[in-house]
Amino acid sequence: MLRKAERILQNREDAGDVVQSLFVDLVERGVERVELAYLYRAVTNRCLNLIRDRRNRDRLLERQQAALRGPARVRCDDAVIGLDLLIKLSGRLDAHHMEVLVCRYLDDMSQEEIAELVGASRKTVGRRLDRIRDHVADLRESAAAGGGS
Amino acid sequence: MIPACAGPVSWLALERHALGELDAARAAEVAAHLDGCAACRAAYGAIEADRRALPPLPDLALAAAARRRRARRAVAAAATALAAAAALLLVWRDREGQLDRVKGDELTLSLVRERAGDIEHDPAGFRPGDRFKVLVTCADPRPLRIDMTVRQGGAVDRPLGAAEIRCGNRVPLPGAFRLTGSGAATICVAAGGVTDCSELAAE
ipTM for the whole complex: 0.87
pLDDT the model gives residue B7: 85
- Polymer length of chain A: 149
Range A9-33 average pLDDT: 86
Mutation target vs B (from A32, A73, A107, A125; most B CBs, 10 A cutoff): A73
* Out of B7, B161, B164, closest to residue A59 by CB: B161
A34-38, A134-138, B31-35: least confident range: A34-38
CA A25, B43, A49, A102 torsion-angle sign: negative
Range A29-36 average pLDDT: 82
Cβ neighbours of residue A91 closer than 8 Å, sequence gap 6 or more:
none
Chain B residues with CB within 8 Å of chain A CB: 2, 4-5, 7-13, 15-16, 19, 21, 39-40, 42-43, 46-47, 50, 62, 65-66, 69, 159-164, 166, 168, 171-172, 174-176
Which chain A residues are within 8 Å of B4, Cβ to Cβ? 73
Between residues A120 and A29, the one the model is more confident about: A120
Phi, psi of B47 (to 5 degrees): -65, -45
A54-63, B7-16, B90-99, B136-145: least confident range: B90-99
Q: What confidence tier does B27 reach under pLDDT thresholds 50, 70, 90?
A: very high
For residue B87, give the amino acid letter: A
Which chain B residues are within 8 Å of A56, Cβ to Cβ? 161, 174-175
Which chain A residues are within 8 Å of B16, Cβ to Cβ? 36
Q: Give the C-alpha separation, B171 to B108, whole Å.
A: 10
3-class SS of residue A3: helix
Mean pLDDT taken over chain A:
88
Beta-ladder partners of B94: B99
Q: Give the C-alpha separation, A98 to A94, whole Å.
A: 6
A6-15, B7-16, B94-103, B104-113: least confident range: B94-103
Q: Give the C-alpha separation, A40 to B156, whole Å.
A: 38
Phi, psi of A20 (to 5 degrees): -60, -45
Give the minimum alpha-carbon distance from A144 to chain B in angstroms, rounded to a whole number. 25
Per DSSP, B203 falls in state -
Q: What confidence tier does B19 reach under pLDDT thresholds 50, 70, 90?
A: confident
pLDDT at A146 over 50: yes
Mutation target vs A (from B1, B5, B10, B160; most A CBs, 10 A cutoff): B10
Which chain B residues are within 8 Å of A4, Cβ to Cβ? 11
pLDDT the model gives residue B72: 54
Could you tell me the pTM of the whole model? Answer: 0.58
Contact of B152 with B184, CB cutoff 8 Å: yes
Please count the other Cβ atoms lying within 10 Å of the Cβ belonging to residue B113. 20
For A77-114, how does the pLDDT look when each residue is reduced to its tens digit (9 = 90+)? 878 888 888 999 999 999 999 999 999 999 999 999 99
pLDDT the model gives residue B91: 29
Radius of gyration of chain A, Cα coordinates, nearest whole angstrom: 15
Report percent pLDDT > 70 for chain A: 98
CA B119, A68, B7, A94 torsion-angle sign: positive
Q: What confidence tier does B30 reach under pLDDT thresholds 50, 70, 90?
A: very high
CA B35, B40, B42, B48 torsion-angle sign: negative
pLDDT the model gives residue B121: 85
Range B41-65 average pLDDT: 64
